[in-house]
């Protein structure tokens, strides 16, 4: 049975494209692998798949008895519930090292860059493999998405260099224009339920024993979502009641370069204080906050350790 290459729950573009790309790379290395995902593509990802003629990976919710390679995460909270019954074979990721463990040595490539696909680009180069044009285009989109068109503080020179080279391979002449097309697709909210909007990119974290869920919805203009904020807050309340200390959503305005923080929490004051705010009013505007990985999760972890 083929090994699975699997991204995190509530997959974003980087998670799904990483699985597809990693499967191509590992197959070129002679490994028997297939890409998979823990959910259907969100609108932005669907745009990327259609644009570059790629098929969405099979959706799986069980990995018991399977060999599994993880891409774009290494936290148990973001893995299938039966992950403990799988065999971890490797990790390619750009986040902090999580709490997964293995029964045997594993191949891990974890680097502090803005996108998993930046790492995969380097791995293609290391092994001397050519990247197909359609995969290069999808990889470029993943980098543009994760780095918020290079505005995010997670952006590195490695991301910029990889994006430029991938654009050349894919034949993309205007990278910024492609980025705006991406975020326009991501901003599509018409007809979506509050829960589906929150869960487009939602991750649970273990914060010193407390379960904290952090979602992020990136938009070209917050006015698109303004009317839905009461319903989003109501849904966050329901999600908090599912065993979470806090359920929160970042509504990120990529043009204003900041995020509106919505939350339902047992300790809203602690969450606000993590960002240097007094809980005088909700929602909270976090100026300059674009990255959950670099500007949100570390602040929360510090607050819960205090």
176 in the same domain as 109: yes
177 in the same domain as 198: no
pLDDT in tens, 143-179: 999 999 999 999 999 999 999 999 999 999 999 999 9
Domain-embedded: residue 211: yes
219 in the same domain as 133: no
- Rounded Cα–Cα distance for residues 231 and 183 (Å): 23
Boundary residue ending a domain (121, 152, 183): 183
- Rounded Cα–Cα distance for residues 120 and 72 (Å): 11
Domain-embedded: residue 157: yes
The CATH number that applies at residue 122 is: 3.90.1640.10
Domain membership of residue 151 as a residue range? 3-183
Q: How many C-beta atoms lie closer than 10 Å to residue 280's C-beta?
A: 7
Helices (H), the chain: 13-28, 43-51, 116-127, 133-146, 157-170, 175-186, 194-198, 229-240, 268-274, 297-305
264 in the same domain as 162: no
208 in the same domain as 177: no
The CATH number that applies at residue 262 is: 3.10.310.20
Domain-embedded: residue 189: no
11 in the same domain as 154: yes
- Rounded Cα–Cα distance for residues 253 and 222 (Å): 6
How many domains does one find in the chain?
Answer: 2
152 in the same domain as 221: no
Percent of the chain with pLDDT over 70: 99
Boundary residue ending a domain (183, 204, 234): 183
pLDDT score at 31:
98
The phi, psi pair for 261, rounded to 5°, reads -100, 120
Q: Shortest CA distance to 146 belongs to which of 196, 183, 92?
A: 183
179 in the same domain as 78: yes
Domain-embedded: residue 215: yes
169 in the same domain as 201: no
Please check whether residue 134 is in contact with residue 170, taking contact to mean a CB–CB distance below 8 angstroms.
Answer: yes
pLDDT score at 280:
64
142 in the same domain as 70: yes
45 in the same domain as 175: yes
- Residues present in the chain in total: 306
221 in the same domain as 122: no
pLDDT means over runs of 10, the chain (306 residues): 96 97 98 97 96 98 97 96 97 96 95 98 98 98 97 96 98 97 90 93 94 95 94 97 98 95 96 89 90 95 92
Boundary residue ending a domain (127, 148, 183): 183
What value does the CA radius of gyration of the chain take, rounded to a whole number of Å? 19
pTM: 0.86
Question: Any residues with CB less than 8 A from the CB of 95 and at least 6 apart, and which?
Answer: 72, 73, 74, 75, 110, 293
Domain-embedded: residue 299: yes
pLDDT in tens, 126-151: 999 999 999 999 999 999 999 999 99
């Amino acid at each position: 049975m083929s090994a699975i290459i699997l991204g995190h729950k509530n997959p974003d573009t980087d998670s799904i494209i990483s699985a597809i790309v990693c499967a191509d790379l590992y197959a070129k290395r002679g490994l028997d692998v297939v890409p998979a995902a823990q959910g259907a593509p969100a609108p932005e990802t669907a745009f990327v798949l259609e644009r570059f003629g790629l098929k969405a990976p099979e959706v799986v919710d069980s990995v018991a008895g399977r060999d599994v390679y993880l891409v774009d995460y290494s936290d148990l909270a973001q893995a299938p519930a039966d992950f403990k019954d799988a065999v971890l074979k490797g990790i390619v990721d750009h986040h902090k090292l999580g709490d997964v463990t293995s029964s045997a040595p594993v191949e891990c490539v974890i680097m502090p860059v803005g996108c998993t696909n930046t790492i995969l680009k380097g791995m293609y180069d290391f092994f001397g493999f050519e990247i197909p044009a359609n995969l290069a285009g999808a990889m470029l989109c993943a980098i543009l998405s994760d780095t918020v068109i290079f505005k995010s503080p997670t952006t590195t020179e490695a991301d910029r260099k990889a994006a430029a080279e991938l654009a050349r391979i894919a034949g993309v002449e205007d990278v910024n224009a492609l980025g705006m097309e991406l975020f326009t697709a991501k901003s599509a909210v018409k007809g979506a339920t509050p829960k589906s909007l929150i869960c487009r990119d939602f991750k649970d974290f273990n914060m010193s024993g407390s379960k904290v869920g952090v979602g992020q919805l990136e938009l070209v203009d917050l006015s698109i979502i303004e009317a839905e904020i009461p319903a989003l807050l109501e849904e966050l309340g329901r999600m908090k009641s599912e065993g979470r200390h806090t359920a929160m959503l970042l509504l990120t305005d990529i043009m204003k370069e900041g995020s509106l923080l919505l939350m339902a929490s047992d300790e809203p004051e602690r969450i606000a204080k993590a960002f240097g705010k007094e809980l005088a009013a909700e929602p909270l505007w976090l100026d300059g906050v674009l990255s959950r990985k670099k500007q949100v999760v570390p602040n929360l972890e510090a607050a819960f350790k205090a």
